[in-house]
Amino acid sequence: MPVVTKLSPTRLTAIIERGESKYIAICPELDLATQGDTPEEAFEDLIDMTVDYAEEYAEEFELYHRSPNRTAHWEFLKQIQDCCGNRERIRDMFL
């Protein structure tokens, strides 16, 4: 019998891998990806992208929330907005 796990609406995943010349940071829950010269730089840029995406989603809520591939993002992005720009709290949302 297959086991299905439900994604936690309070946690995001940061996958950081070494690419050919840079580190790649991916957040699969939000379909975001970026890169940096170090793992830390890639992760910090991923946090910036997450904050920017949360702001853009809120500004264009009707558009994004009706998109089938983006509807589920809102539960995460609401929590990002609730952090009020506190990077430490946003960082803590990532596994």
Task: Compute the average pLDDT of residues 15-33.
Answer: 98
Find the mean pLDDT for residues 20-42: 98
According to DSSP, the residues that pair with 36 across neighbouring strands are: 23
Q: Are 30 and 73 in contact (CB under 8 A)?
A: yes
Q: How confident is the model at residue 4 (pLDDT cuts 50, 70, 90)?
A: very low
Domains of the chain: 15-92 (3.30.160.620)
Predicted pLDDT at 9: 58
Is the pLDDT score of 6 beyond 60?
Answer: no
Distance CA 30, CA 9 (A): 11
Give 79-82's long-range contacts (Cβ < 8 A, gap of 24+): 79/9, 79/10, 80/50, 80/51, 80/54, 81/54, 81/55
